[in-house]
Structure 1
Amino acid sequence: MSAAGRFAARTVRVKAPGKVNVSLAVGPLRADGYHSVASVYLAVSLYEEVAATSTAAPGITISLSPESTLDLDDVDIPLDSSNLAYKAAAIMADVSEHATGVHLEITKRVPVAGGMGGGSADAAATLLACDALWNSGLSREELAHLAAELGADVPFSLLGGTAVGLGLGDELSPALAKAQTHWVLVVANYGLSTPEVYRTLDRLRGAGGIDAEEPTGVDPQILAALRGGDAESLGRVLVNDLQRASIELAPALRDTLGIGESHGAIAGMVSGSGPTVALLAEDSVAAAALAEDLQRYGLTALPVHGPVPGARIISDTLL
């Protein structure tokens, strides 16, 4: 297109949810350096947004939206080719016949390095936004295959809802759980490195003479409790094999869990590799009250619910 004036820019905005690992069993260190897992993922009502805008100039650029609710001064988010959203756009450009340049504006709400898949949500949103922007016409299944190339959590952010994850977490099976559960997420003002948490788990297991087994499935009681929205039953079966390692690296997490449970949480756990803490509440009223109590301790506490849908387009605008 030789005349810049004929270029019609378009913006597609997509939201994608963060997630909580309602259960996470971790196998031993494998020869390839990874760990097999068996997990139940729950998409919750804390969303990332990506606005993908076509540009006349080629290439991919990224910026962070001033509407982000995170304090972006305290986090290091790369805005280059190492960003997962950039990689998602690059993959879509490779498979799209009508790709243009694109600018990605990311609104950050899911904690960075918080064990909730915020970067994966950005990537999922970018895949869907670029698919629409460039009229690629890919099915959700085809997008999910691309998502799996970007990391274990990306396909789930596309899918949303509730799912069982096996293998490296990327072998997803949707689970029926329409009933809502209510949570309070306590967001730390620091992050934890997922690889470091796994290394710490291996060290603790070695020091304790613990021989972990390969996980083959998830506790059916967890799925039954989620299906019925039974918070009391769910609270009795929450499990996260990474929690001990996360607390080893960030001992303050133990205090956060204690404060939450002393103020009415049915149960609490570190979400994924942490350091976000997920506290299970009886209902939405209890979650709001718990969040208010925790905020008096100077904690950042956010009431959320799940399951919620995966990535979806919320606007498509010609500029």
Structure 2
Amino acid sequence: MRTTATPTRVDVHAHFLPAAYLQAAREAGLSSFDGGIPVPEWSLAGALDFMDRQGIDAQVLSVPSPTAHRLAGRGGAAKLARRLNEAAAEIIDQHPSRFGALAHLPLPDVDAALAEIDHSLGDLALDGVILATNYAARYLGEPAFDPVLAELDRRGATILLHPTAPACFAQTGLGHPAPLVEFVFDVARTVTHLIYTGALTRHPNLRIILPHAGGAVPALAWRISAFAAQPALTPGAHLSPESVLAQLRGLYYDVALGANPHSLSALLELADPGHLLFGTDHPFSPEPLITANSRGLADYPGFSDQTRRAIAADNALPLFPQLAARLAPLTG
């Protein structure tokens, strides 16, 4: 049971595996995820125990990769996404001050996704959405996805952009699971696409979180921005190196598996500490690795105590106002 008087940690990158998701994975013939990642154990009681051990006041839950479309196909994705989102809402009902949740959308079916946005963010009052970096090799900057981004922009939605394997993974993965290398590059691929298609310019109210200290984005930020000096590469987007960097700096970055000197030094060259968020990637990250990551955040010499507190909880609260309201009795 949480004993602190004020929230000290809000975990914005935490997954849950409801029965409907695991059943769909079995029916799809998956015994592991994303090229060889074992399916971890997850239960609500286990999640609460983990949070108490780690001093985490609240988790923002989301369903991981693979997506509902990958598991159930276009015909079954909408029904599966609805079941997943209603399972998330039930958890919030049971523990309103311990959990928030991000809606899962049945993309690439745009009409079904729009209906699920209305249901999950409206009727269920979930806290935002999780979007995969690609859906069956289709990336979010495509014009066909613009109605979804426009509706999320209208709502000022918070989005966790979660990696999944690219279509070329069979060739580029080299026999390794996608999270080893491909995940971090697919985040960079998707962000670059969103910028160079003008999608982020058209939808400035999206509040997008990049996981794992931005993946490859901080290391590639200068290159991604520098190419905007070539007008032929930015037709209709009206980009400049300065505007691209501004868009990258406007994103948010969780530090799951990224609270180490290598990742943080690159990230802090790009992002203000006010845009850094605490995350664990539980239950896919082993708890000893999560503990070590938290220690890396605590020990990083570039942070003041105030900055550490902000990353741990305060930076997240404006992104999740409904969860923040449920935590309000703790904050006094």
Q: TM-score, normalised by structure 1?
A: 0.26
Larger % of strand: which? 1
- Name the larger-Rg structure: 1
Higher relative contact order (CA 8 A, sep 6+): 1
Q: TM-score, normalised by structure 2?
A: 0.25
